[in-house]
A and B are shown apart, each in its own frame.
Chain A
């Protein structure tokens, strides 16, 4: 485990060095994050100027949700999507061959190979929003609630990771897959609101087709004392299954790649 952490750290360090070469993107990221944040807050203030609660979510609770949205979104954009986009590129250019000749698990290598560190800003912003929401609400969540939050947050990240890995792995068969990741990104934006405000068909899509519900709504529910034991258990189980399924699919894809590519 320690060697894996060291490997992750080396990748992270090298990514930071790479990113530092482009200072402009740091400023761009600040602007982008602030615009995202401004839009999200403006929506809330508009909505709550007409009503006191949105489908049972009060303003401070919705702020919690947006905090989770930024936190998870930042993580996805920082680690998961850059690596997967590069994987698609590697399949197309044939440089995945190099990854496969390394004496290390190929899935691990492609998953951590690129880190867009400026997205850390969104993660920090998310944490700040969560703290702000708590202060606004006036009470701190109990230890059990915090534990549930941490677990669901982790489960949500794992579910999204598995899902994106599955999409990117499809590029072994269908070469043009970047577009599908773009579709994923815009679907993720729907996670800005609790999924229960959407019509049932869309809620179903956001839960089971593009698992945004698990990534954002469920952790926010954990923090706002809405989470039932059943949903918690189901989320953890789903995360484990998703990880296993994506792993199996990845291995199947590598086997196919080794059989068919030239």
Chain B
């Protein structure tokens, strides 16, 4: 365990108590007097540490426990067991010194006030975080510059498009220059161009300020572009913690061979044909057989070009989650 880590999580666990009732009026009436309680494990035995300045991606299907984890780190939820330190603080004590150094952005939940111009919402944050005027102006200029906010600042939030609003939401959360950022689906619902814009900005902010960023996203592109390291969570438990590239190595037992042939040929004996165009064929081949199959292809057929690739990360992750589902 490193003492300097920004985030330290050990054996973190969160159990929800959920009251359940069966369908129907009778069950509903019975539930008024006696409720069936069920315990649901949201997060189980997570342990990891994050160094200052890292950008970490949390991956997992809906309900995997990503948001629950993020909320515990941001101090919104008490864990059922385990320990968490963020910047040396216990998050759920919500000490002001801690809260002043973090920011939470949830793509699905809006914090700017609907009816008033963006700049006035910012002004409220300035007052709440007690940002000195000079620092506020400096930060606002910087953010406005990076995100092109100038034309938006004086419009009421209700007149902004989803993408414009998201830019303002993010800028508003960064005015106090947080050291740790929790971003829950920051690009959800945005078009490709805006997604890239937000992504570039997050990277830029991370490089300029050295802030630590914890990110969850459904878009693999976000994670691939921003995070060298990912944490894979499924059913509340950790499946993987490490480099994105290693993730593919570890979880995909296959590679893809792409061959260009002088003339069409039947490649089915060599591996599973993923796609076939006039002269290109993609084959899925077990890793252990790559060398052998490549050699055979080169000797058997008039090969013009051949390359071996890792399957796309998205496919690999999809496989992991669906396989887990079966087990």
Contacts and interface: CB of A to CB of B under 8 A. Distances in A.
* Genuine A/B complex: yes
Given A95-B111, A258-B92, A103 B128 contact: yes
Contact of B120 (A3, A14, A97, A255): A14
B109 A103 contact: no
Contacts, number: 77
Interface stretch (A4-12, A192-200, A208-216): A4-12
Interface string B91-127: 0101011011011101001110101110011011001
> What's the interface size class on B, roughly?
35 or more
Contacts of A102: 99, 128-129
A260 B17 contact: yes
B236 interface: no
Contacts of A11: 124, 127
B16 A262 contact: yes
A21 B96 CA distance: 34
A21 B115 contact: yes
B68 interface: yes
B129 A101 contact: no
B77 interface: yes
Interface string A80-94: 000000000000011
A17 B119 CA distance: 11
B78 A104 contact: no
Contact of A259 (B78, B99, B124): B78
B42 interface: yes
A10 B104 contact: no
Contact of B94 (A17, A100, A259, A261): A100
Contact of A21 (B100, B102, B156): B156
B186 interface: no
A118 to B, nearest CB: 14
A21 B116 contact: yes
A261 B77 CA distance: 8
Contacts of B60: none
B76 interface: yes
A258 B116 contact: no
B75 interface: yes
B228 interface: no
Contacts of A236: none
A97 B78 contact: no
Contacts of B103: 101
Nearest to A104: B128
B166 to A, nearest CB: 15
A98 interface: yes
A18 interface: yes
Contact of B77 (A93, A95, A258): A258
A98 B99 contact: no
Interface of B: 16-17, 42, 67-68, 71, 74-78, 92, 94, 96-97, 99-100, 102-104, 106, 109-111, 113, 115-117, 120-121, 123-124, 127-130, 156
Interface of A: 3, 6-7, 10-11, 14, 17-18, 21-22, 93-95, 97-98, 100-104, 109, 255, 258-262
20 contacts: A6-B127, A7-B128, A10-B124, A11-B124, A11-B127, A14-B113, A14-B124, A17-B120, A18-B120, A95-B111, A97-B76, A97-B104, A97-B106, A100-B94, A101-B74, A101-B104, A102-B99, A255-B78, A260-B17, A262-B42
Given A14-B121, A21-B115, A103-B129, 9 more contacts: A10-B123, A11-B127, A17-B117, A97-B71, A101-B102, A103-B128, A104-B96, A255-B78, A262-B67
**6 closest Cβ pairs, A-B complex:** A103-B99, A10-B127, A103-B96, A18-B116, A98-B111, A103-B100
